[in-house]
Structure 1
Amino acid sequence: MSSEKKSARGWLWLVVVFILFIVGVQAANNGMALGRITYEKLKVFTEVLDLVRTQYVEEADEEKLLYGAIGGMLETLDPHSSFLNPDSFKEMKVDTKGEFGGLGIEITRGEQAIKVVAPIADTPADRAGMKAGDLIIKIEDESTQDMNLMDAVKRMRGKPDTDIKLTVVREGEPKPLVFTLTRAIIKISSVKWRAEQNNLAYVRITSFNEQARPLLDKALDEIEAELKGNVRGLVLDLRNNPGGLLDQAVQVSDAFLNKGRIVYTKGRIPGKDLSFDARNGDLMEGAPIVVLVNGGSASASEIVAGALQDHKRAVIMGTQSFGKGSVQTILPLSDGSGVRLTTALYYTPSGRTIQAKGIVPDIVVEDLTLIKRKDRLERTKEKDLKGHFNNDGKRSMDDKEETTSTTEDSAKKGDTKSTEDEDDQAERDSVTGRSKDDYQLKRALDLLRGLQVFQTTAAQN
């Protein structure tokens, strides 16, 4: 054996010894012992890695190999455990914080270019005049024809006060438009709101990032000021909200409860279970609440809906939610990468687990916009994902192939199309993000108005 190969093998074994040491320490801390099989399989892993390094047809990227192996290991667990390389880990932290340096445009992947879904109000893109439907064909001098969304996002984000040039094709314009934009701090507004007729409030939470509870407080303060302190009911819209931070779900639930448990978790490690309780102070002061949910309401959204439903604080309306009742912990690693690991299942105050089941509305109201579409696909839910946990907390061993419907992961990657035709974009409500003829919202508002009439009648009698 050549000295080069001996050196390579020696390096690999040093890596394995280090891994075994770290894994052993972690296992000891958790009161768990590593078995003989684990050591043997790690030896096999180093043998395969050595074969690839020395005998593969061309030189392989060792970091890519190791990251791929880690990712493959986590993919065997459940649909929500995953490995985050340093770039993905950084993007994840940006998304949950809700603030970054960029241009302020929501984008998706078009057939030949990066397509603008919409510019965010009062951002560099909005002020420069970019519009929904614009096709970004170049970022600086690089074509976007074969550029994926993550690469496009990386290129457009950057330090505030730095410039970037975008070349855009717009319908009706005879030649491409060139925009030179100056990056700025972009705050992702996860909450939108407005006052409705009959002294009612409408608040939509699109995700549970770090801004969710602070913006909820701001929304209710502004609506109360507009209605001169006479807010008589609230529609809390959690439709298509994929979830987010557990602590924000707890704080949003706490905003409408005076006491009692909000959610609790159960995991594998003794002493690691968590429980969260409400503190006194209902921002709506007992006024009726309707929570709108649908098949796109997942995780943190279901924590809020489940807590308010169990405490009979709100009427849940819409369609059955997604059914993601597992808790993921983000664990940073030494090289800037991270692990998203399922560490527990959560339970509503009454002890229900919504894993692979979802929140069943008190009043089922279908989305007529979706029903009218002949080409509608059945929405994928937690129970349809390969390797999901069943409602009893045991993992499903079903190896069926993934469906072609939208899943949480593909939605995050931007690989899905809108559920409504592009021609309908102009008919969308800027606050609800849905059709202006929103049947579910109308029914929610009707219910609150009906309760107003009942309360008025009861008070007179």
Structure 2
Amino acid sequence: MPCPLPGGCSSICWTTGRGGNEGQKATGRQAESAQQLKTKFNRIFQMVEILKKKLKYKLTNLYCSTILFAGRQEWRFGDHCARAGRYTENRMERRDPPGNAIGRSIGPFMTRWSLRYAIAFVLVAATACASRGDLTSATLSAGGESVIGAGYRFVATRYIRPVPIRDIALSGLEGMSKVDPKARAIPTGDGIAIRYDEATVADLKQPPDDDIRGWAGVTVRAFEAAGERSVKIRDARPEEIYRAVFRAALRSLDRYSRYATPAEARQNRALREGYGGIGVTIRAENGITRIVSVMPGTPGDKAGLKDDDIIAAIAGVSIKGMSLNNVVRRLRGRRGTEIRLTVQRANRKHPLTVSVRRAFIVPQTVTARRMGEAVYLRIARFGDDTARKAADRVARLRTTIGTREMSGAILDLRDNPGGLLEQAIRISDLFLDDGEIMQSRGRHPGSQRRYSARYGDILRGKPIVVLINGRTASSSEIVAAALQDNGRAVVVGSNSFGKGTVQSVASLPNGGEIVLTWSRFHAPSGYALQGLGIRPNICTGSERRDARAGHRAIARLSAGETASAETFHAWRRHSEPETGNVQALRAACPARPLRGTPDVEMEIARRLLAEPHLYRMALTASAPEPAQASDGRERAEDNSSDATNQR
């Protein structure tokens, strides 16, 4: 039995109703007494408690969902049970967004119906979750409809604009030629002709346009029919079929919606949540694997690995010419296991043999250091713990420097591809006392959100310079726009990438994931970032990068030759993505990688913080209009969105 839950068995969450009936009415015959039901329910609780302890609380989400589902009116899917509520020994407590706690004792409030409903839910969920893994190795005929149907349903209900199921499925069937170029599925009136080498091998009837189950079945039967003639399709693993179908279907939507195979999904989760590894960043160059950086305090650091070391072999096996993904797969593994590396170092004649014991690694996303009287904060991407680490390190540096003596902060978002939307909101909130952070607009009701800052600027009003480039995208653009539009920071660099969409992630029964665009985000002043990006106050994108580049940029600023208020007004008029003269606006400050030496942006940032009058001049042009001011103090929490890739 496949898992029937759209968000996956491991991501069940709950939310409270906003009125209406407190209890959940159920239908069915009354087969057992209330006392018997209560006894069984207590046994289930005891079993869950034992399992929870053995599995180190991995069943907490299911446990919380079961209890609350019994006594509340409404539920939802997501991965934020920890924020939604907490379990105490005798009662479940939930918090409404304003922070008012409402407690509910389990026993007295349960009716016979809610007990029965809870037990049924536990049994169904447990059975479904136990059998979910079967679909990872099930044949296409056994599991295909469940996997493909789950994907079609997610697109139909969550995509940013309405898409008929028929269009999704027909686009997916175009992936048949990726498995075997001789095979095609061609719509013919109210049917679909399956052809192989120009000969028709089957004619299938099209189901109704909105029949998800019907179109999932047609998709499976189309591949089965083609497989009767095509050896490539007949011998293809089910995962190859799923990949071909979903990638063809999602490619027809937009450039950011995509399918991740189970292996890719595991890697994506590792980047967000952590993994068993040794704590090094590597790069493949001409068949050679080189260590780019070693994270402090990790097993690699303790074992003596250094930047620019070349990994020649892993466990005695040469990795010369091996793909980067294969090397990463060999370096990662179960925590506590040991791995032996053969390393070549520039200043040593003979290779070194280094033994490293893997540990749980959370990718390093935050770097902070003192730079004179300023704080330098670099965020490489937005991961699970980025905001907390950033707040901690900035607070420490502020204390070290002294609030009075501190000149300000440099926030480096260059080459930051984005990450978790929630973390971008929290980073923005660190540096704001009030005002809007961003707006999210989509078709699904859950995607229509406004996020506002709450009081508590960690820098207490000190100047901020944000560095961006053409690779600054998605969540990092949210931060740059929020600080610029609220008059809180001067932005230096080139135009950013212009990825202004939010992606939602769904786990499929086969272990794969669909990353789907479900909303667009807008800056506080209202303009859409999609296709447009962020316009810096001081543009270095068209600047010749030499020793005098920073000096020339400051000279233009002093002469009033930087971006004008009219430039920002024109930019902010674009409330819809990619409309009108977007290319002309971006051409004035082209998006560039801005790499190498000298670091022009850093030189400009330091000058701005050292000379307050220059900072004020640069800030004036992008200052928000009075009508755009916000008096919001409540912070809205993100629920289930993952920007970019954000997955």
State the TM-score, normalized to the length of structure 2. 0.55
The amino acid of 1:351's aligned partner reads G
Is 1:253 the equivalent of 2:414? no
Contact 2:286 2:321 in 1 (8 A): no
Which of 482, 495, 513 does residue 320 from structure 1 map onto? 495
Q: Please list, as runs of the form range in 1=range in 2, the aligned pairs for 1:306-385 lying within 5 A after superposition.
A: 306-366=481-541
SS of 1:279's partner is coil
Contact 2:164 2:209 in 1 (8 A): no
Distance between the aligned counterparts of 1:318 and 1:454, measured in 2? 15
Identity of aligned residues (%): 31
Q: Please list, as runs of the form range in 1=range in 2, the aligned pairs for 1:6-85 lying within 5 A after superposition.
A: 34=165, 36=208, 43=218, 46-52=221-227, 55-56=230-231, 59-85=235-261
Question: What is the CA distance between 1:264 and its match in structure 2?
Answer: 1.1
Question: What is the CA distance between 1:352 and its match in structure 2?
Answer: 0.8
Per the alignment, residue 282 of structure 2 pairs with 107
Distance between the aligned counterparts of 2:506 and 2:419, measured in 1? 16
Q: Please list, as runs of the form range in 1=range in 2, the aligned pairs for 1:257-268 lying within 5 A after superposition.
A: 257-268=432-443
Which of 592, 602, 607 does residue 441 from structure 1 map onto? 602
Is 1:229 the equivalent of 2:400? no
Distance between the aligned counterparts of 1:20 and 1:127, measured in 2? 46
Question: What is the CA distance between 1:18 and its match in structure 2?
Answer: 5.0
CA pair 18-64 structure 1, distance change in 2 beyond 3 A: closer
SS of 1:64's partner is helix
State the Cα deviation string for residues 289-324 of structure 1 (Å, max 9, x = none): 111111111111110111111111111111111100
Distance between the aligned counterparts of 1:354 and 1:419, measured in 2? 21
The amino acid of 2:239's aligned partner reads E
Question: What is the CA distance between 1:177 and its match in structure 2?
Answer: 2.3
Contact 2:280 2:292 in 1 (8 A): yes
The amino acid of 2:612's aligned partner reads L
SS of 2:611's partner is helix
Distance between the aligned counterparts of 1:342 and 1:454, measured in 2? 37
Distance between the aligned counterparts of 2:594 and 2:230, measured in 1? 48
Per the alignment, residue 188 of structure 1 pairs with 363
Contact 1:53 1:60 in 2 (8 A): no
Question: What is the CA distance between 1:339 and its match in structure 2?
Answer: 0.7
State the Cα deviation string for residues 371-390 of structure 1 (Å, max 9, x = none): 79xxxxxxxxxxxxxxxxx9
SS of 1:115's partner is strand
Distance between the aligned counterparts of 1:217 and 1:169, measured in 2? 38
Contact 2:532 2:578 in 1 (8 A): no
Distance between the aligned counterparts of 1:33 and 1:366, measured in 2? 42
The amino acid of 1:438's aligned partner reads D
State the Cα deviation string for residues 211-234 of structure 1 (Å, max 9, x = none): 211111112111112113332311
Per the alignment, residue 444 of structure 2 pairs with 269
Contact 1:52 1:60 in 2 (8 A): no
Distance between the aligned counterparts of 2:374 and 2:149, measured in 1? 60
Contact 2:501 2:530 in 1 (8 A): yes
Distance between the aligned counterparts of 1:66 and 1:24, measured in 2? 12
Contact 1:194 1:201 in 2 (8 A): yes
Question: What is the CA distance between 1:15 and its match in structure 2?
Answer: 5.8
Question: What is the CA distance between 1:66 and its match in structure 2?
Answer: 2.2
CA pair 134-267 structure 1, distance change in 2 beyond 3 A: same
CA pair 86-13 structure 1, distance change in 2 beyond 3 A: closer
State the Cα deviation string for residues 239-289 of structure 1 (Å, max 9, x = none): 111111100110011111122211111112346412111111111111111
Per the alignment, residue 388 of structure 2 pairs with 214
Contact 2:147 2:509 in 1 (8 A): no
Contact 1:249 1:303 in 2 (8 A): yes
Is 1:123 the equivalent of 2:284? no
- State the aligned residue count: 392
State the Cα deviation string for residues 55-114 of structure 1 (Å, max 9, x = none): 3168322322222222222222222111111121121112122x3221111111121232
CA pair 69-23 structure 1, distance change in 2 beyond 3 A: closer
Distance between the aligned counterparts of 2:284 and 2:486, measured in 1? 43
* Unaligned ranges ≥5, structure 1: 1-10, 373-389, 396-406, 408-417, 421-433, 456-461
CA pair 105-270 structure 1, distance change in 2 beyond 3 A: closer
Per the alignment, residue 201 of structure 1 pairs with 375
CA pair 172-333 structure 1, distance change in 2 beyond 3 A: same
Question: What is the CA distance between 1:453 and its match in structure 2?
Answer: 9.2
Distance between the aligned counterparts of 1:70 and 1:117, measured in 2? 34
SS of 1:328's partner is strand
Contact 1:368 1:439 in 2 (8 A): no
Distance between the aligned counterparts of 2:241 and 2:506, measured in 1? 21
State the Cα deviation string for residues 392-432 of structure 1 (Å, max 9, x = none): 4479xxxxxxxxxxx9xxxxxxxxxx987xxxxxxxxxxxx
Contact 1:293 1:319 in 2 (8 A): yes
* Unaligned ranges ≥5, structure 2: 1-138, 167-207, 548-573, 580-590, 617-647
Per the alignment, residue 8 of structure 1 pairs with none
Distance between the aligned counterparts of 1:269 and 1:91, measured in 2? 28
Which segment drifts farther, 281-290 or 139-148? 139-148
SS of 1:122's partner is coil
Per the alignment, residue 620 of structure 2 pairs with none
Question: What is the CA distance between 1:17 and its match in structure 2?
Answer: 5.9
SS of 2:451's partner is strand
The amino acid of 2:276's aligned partner reads G
The amino acid of 1:443's aligned partner reads I
CA RMSD of aligned residues (A): 3.3
Is 1:298 the equivalent of 2:459? no
Contact 1:189 1:211 in 2 (8 A): no
SS of 1:292's partner is strand
State the Cα deviation string for residues 351-377 of structure 1 (Å, max 9, x = none): 1111111100011134979679xxxxx
Contact 1:16 1:46 in 2 (8 A): no
Distance between the aligned counterparts of 1:201 and 1:27, measured in 2? 44
CA pair 223-242 structure 1, distance change in 2 beyond 3 A: same
SS of 2:322's partner is coil
Question: What is the CA distance between 1:130 and its match in structure 2?
Answer: 2.1
Which of 596, 609, 612 does residue 451 from structure 1 map onto? 612
Contact 1:139 1:167 in 2 (8 A): yes
SS of 2:275's partner is strand
Distance between the aligned counterparts of 2:442 and 2:381, measured in 1? 25
Per the alignment, residue 377 of structure 1 pairs with none
CA pair 23-447 structure 1, distance change in 2 beyond 3 A: closer
Which segment drifts farther, 218-227 or 360-369? 360-369
Distance between the aligned counterparts of 1:14 and 1:454, measured in 2? 65
Distance between the aligned counterparts of 1:367 and 1:182, measured in 2? 47
Distance between the aligned counterparts of 2:499 and 2:302, measured in 1? 39
SS of 1:317's partner is strand
State the TM-score, normalized to the length of structure 1. 0.76
Per the alignment, residue 429 of structure 1 pairs with none
Distance between the aligned counterparts of 1:240 and 1:62, measured in 2? 37
Contact 2:469 2:594 in 1 (8 A): no
